[in-house]
Chain A
Amino acid sequence: MASKLTTSNRAGWAFALPGFGLILLFIVIPFFFAFYLSLTNQRLVSPNPTEYVGFSNYEKLLSISVLTIEPEVDTAGVVLRDDAGEAQYPRVRSFTRNNPDFPQYDGMREWFRWHWGGTAKVVVATDVVFWKSLRNTLMFVLVVAPVQAALALGLALLVNQKLRGINIYRAIYFMPVVVSIVVVSLLFRFIYDGNDGLLNNILSFLTFGLFEGRDWLGSPDTALGAIKAMSIWQAVGFHMVIWLSGLQTISPTLYEASSIEGASKWQTFRYVTWPGLRNTAVLVIIVITMQAFALFAQIDVMTNGGPLDSTTTLVFQAVERGYGKQDISGAAAISVVLFLIVLSISMLQRYITRAR
């Protein structure tokens, strides 16, 4: 169509420039700025000039290594054991603090360890909190993306039925989406509370008092799971609506045909509905993944990353360092790592779900 119109450079630029200029200024420039900053020692406020430091921010973040430690032995070569019969190992600190034999481990701290063939394998990293935040973020995405997408599809199928009053149910399922995640997070802090929390009381009621209450956000075992469940609850309606719009693009004649052929409900879903949802599925998964990687408000309101860093995330670390500790360059390096992960995962998702 454009070819039919006369070229009009002046009007074209004049109309596009305000919007395009703002996008350049506040999205594109900061985006490239992040790459640049991550190679410097920039601070939010500093009397010293900013210097180029190469990849040292990334080195600090990403340095990780496995340290193999032999158990301690006595003079006869017998492994020393404690009262419980466990082999005794020298402290990790003796390898990572000023040990001239192991300069590559200098300044590293233990992340976790496992035992293997009579030795201890200790994973050590310079920035253990970063690695924990990376692990937590990935665990969050790995659970929330598929579960939320599947539940949203289930809800979409439910509210796609032709029933009287179905619009009311659709409106209710969507409602949490318009409630701010910050409000939801504070509300759920009370619901998850260990003493008077609503969840403990409900579970105790449903199990006739068998369930013993717990402090959901106060324990490293349950805190991230509780946040996952809440996040799914809050946003599932959003994706239900996207699935629903996909469902409604599928031609009714296809359903008529499959019903004439005598297809079962499952067959109808498998061979009519699901193929018709391919594009929607790609969109839903990519959008959920991007949203999940951005996990911040829930953490900031509910746990501040604790207990024991069990809920800290990449964005939370970026904000805590960049804003809290004014370490802009360190935060920028985390942001770049986060962006590269998001980019590669969404490219991978596109590749896997590409049209065949």
Chain B
Amino acid sequence: MAAINQDNRGLRLIVRYAVLTLIAIIFIFPVLFMVMSSFKPNLQLLRDTSSLRAFLPVGDISLDNYYDAFRRAPIGLFVFNSVLVTGVTVLLSLFFCSLAAFSFVYLNWKGRDLALTIIIATLIIPFETIAIPLLLFVSKLPWIGLEGIEIGWLDSYHVQIIPWIADGLTVFLFVQYFKDLPGELIEACRVEGASWWQIYVKVVMPLSGPVIATAAILKFLVMYNQYLWPLIVVQQETYRPVLVGLQYFFQLNITWGEIMAYLTIVTIPVLAIYLVLQRAFIASIASTGVKG
């Protein structure tokens, strides 16, 4: 009797792992195919799709596709643009949104509740519904450039950065987190004569590691994956981010090998960061749900 139960449990375990693994294959195979194909010459790439070789680094393996892709498009510039825009936006977003949340949670001022209500209400507005009005709006905004005041923000880094700094979700995440910090601590600091700025810099932010990680990861994913907005506000190559740069590879005479190489270049940095910070990534998405 005991032996049968033992067998049953072993079998069940095998079935469980088989199901888990089968599903894992569904999630991995397109990405695996992309990476493997990027090393293959075009003819072999097409031939390999009819067998398991599509997922294996076999045959004529080389970096030729990468070489060709780099020659076709200024990939280095596109990657630089994306990293710059993403990095600056994430940093400014963490600062501005945490500062606002600090004020909403710890300070008492006229209009505070109304302002917070407005910010929470913006969560229901999908960006896609304001993209076109925003396009017209930024095309009329003034900017102080090297040659004095210019009208219009199109074709620049700041048009990709400034509208994305503050958003309702980031403020909301910080507000939720700050509410759970011990309020007595902040009061004690006030009694001892610390300024609000000192409390923000020296007390609250050092305690906020988890929420900073969450907000940074979410913003990073949004910014690095920007497509619609830079598509409509950036014409010049100089400011173009990686995903819009993909359009270089929409032409007809491009080989799939080159496209796969470009897709791999775009994807590998994010995947690498994800693999290293995997737990933090998953925790950050999860934390948007807990209190929602």
Contact = CB atoms under 8 A, between A and B. Distances in A.
Interface of A: 1-9, 11-24, 26-31, 33-34, 37, 42, 44, 155, 158-159, 161, 163, 166-167, 169-184, 186-188, 190-191, 196-198, 201, 233, 237-238, 241-246, 249, 279-280, 283-284, 290, 293-294, 296-297, 300-301, 315, 318-319, 322-323, 328, 331-332, 335-336, 338-339, 342-343, 346
A183 B50 contact: no
A196 B46 contact: yes
10 contacts: A12-B108, A20-B115, A27-B130, A180-B225, A201-B49, A233-B30, A246-B290, A296-B128, A319-B228, A335-B131
B66 interface: no
B126 A179 contact: no
A216 to B, nearest CB: 14
Interface of B: 13, 16-17, 19-21, 23-24, 26-28, 30-31, 33-34, 46, 49-51, 54, 96-97, 99-104, 106-112, 115, 118-119, 122, 124-137, 139, 162-168, 171, 183, 187, 190, 196, 200, 221, 224-225, 227-228, 231-232, 243, 246, 249, 256, 259-260, 263, 266-267, 270-271, 274-275, 278-279, 281-282, 285-290, 292
A-B pairs with the 3 shortest C-beta distances? A12-B109, A19-B100, A15-B103
B289 A186 contact: no
A30 B19 contact: no
B137 A33 contact: yes
B190 A296 contact: no
A109 B108 CA distance: 59
Contacts of A187: 30-31, 33-34, 260, 263
Given A11-B103, A29-B137, A181-B225, A23 B285 contact: no
A155 B23 contact: yes
Nearest to A36: B133
A294 B285 contact: no
Contact of A9 (B110, B162, B256, B278): B110
A342 B124 contact: yes
A23 B16 contact: no
A128 B157 CA distance: 38
Given A8-B109, A335-B130, A158 B270 contact: no
A328 B132 contact: yes
Contacts of A159: 20
